[in-house]
Every structure is written in structure tokens, then in C-alpha cells.
Amino acid sequence: MRRTAYHIKYPSLLVLLFITCISFSACNKTLSYDGQLSSFMANNAVGLYSMERSSFRYDSTDCQIVRNEFRKMIRMQKDDQSQLVNATFSTMYFGFEQPVNIKIAYVSPSYTSSFNMEAYLVQMQDGLYWLWDSNKKIGLIIPESE
């Protein structure tokens, strides 16, 4: 009888341990590649992209970019200063699945806003970084440093 209880008890514990491990692995923070993120990743122009408000797209014919590695800052603005994005980063070294805190100041003729983002690098291609905040549904595409 004791031998039977032993054979039932330990395989049951192994099954319980296996189920626990699977449930914890399902709780890991992974980015949700929903339609909004897919739409953001389809863009290839430097700028700020919001799913709720207007955005800023850099155009080399009438915009400027200033980058200060020491201050961990990038500023994109129209030549006439009618629209600008100032982004200050917690780090300028981006890695997948590593959060980057970004303080954004955005100004346009019809809208002004300041907010913080907790973004993740979701794509890196052709000298550009795609940073996405899944809670705010806001993305930022910036050029890599030269």
C-alpha cells in the first residue's frame, strides 16, 4: 500500500509542478502585436505616432532633427517651429524587451501635450528604431546615432 501511494503521490506532484511552470511562463510580459502596433510598424518615417491624436512625421525638406547624446534627447521640429517633438530618454541604448522611459513634449498649431511613455523596442531596421508604448498606443521612430 505504501508503495502505491508513493507511485501516485510523486507523479501527481510532477504534474502540478509542470502546470505551475506553464502558468507562470504565460504571465511573462510580452508585447501584444495587435492591429495598432502593426499599423505603427508599417511606418518608415521618423516621427511621433499616436493612435488617438495627430502625429508628427519628419520630412527633410522642412524639418530639423537635433540629437544630444549627453542629455539623452532628440528634438524634431518644423523649420517654422509650428510643430515639434522633444523626447528625453532614460537611455539611448535600446534593446528588445528592455523598457525605455521617454518624456515627450509635443506642440502643434492645434494641440500641446507633455507625457511620459514606457516604450519597448519593437523593430530596428535601416538605421531606425521603432519604440512602442502599448498602454498609451503611442509610437516613436527615431534614427540611430551617427
How many angstroms from the chain centroid is the CA of residue 79?
A: 27
Residue type, 83: Q
**Beta-sheet strand order (sheet of 73-78):** 56-57, 47-50, 138-143, 128-133, 112-125, 100-107, 84-89, 73-78, 63-68
Q: Which residue has the higher pLDDT, 111 or 26?
A: 111
pLDDT tens digits, one per residue of 106-144: 999 988 999 999 999 999 999 999 999 999 999 999 998
Sequence-distant (≥ 6) Cβ neighbours of residue 127 within 8 angstroms: 143, 144
pLDDT range class, residue 75, cuts 50, 70, 90: very high
- Sign, CA torsion 146/56/72/32: negative
| Separation of alpha carbons 104 and 119, rounded Å | 12
pLDDT of residue 25: 37
Domain segments of the chain: what residues? Answer: 2-143
* Cα separation values, 9 from 5, 6, 12, 13, 108, Å: 6, 5, 5, 6, 67
- What mean pLDDT value characterizes the chain? 82
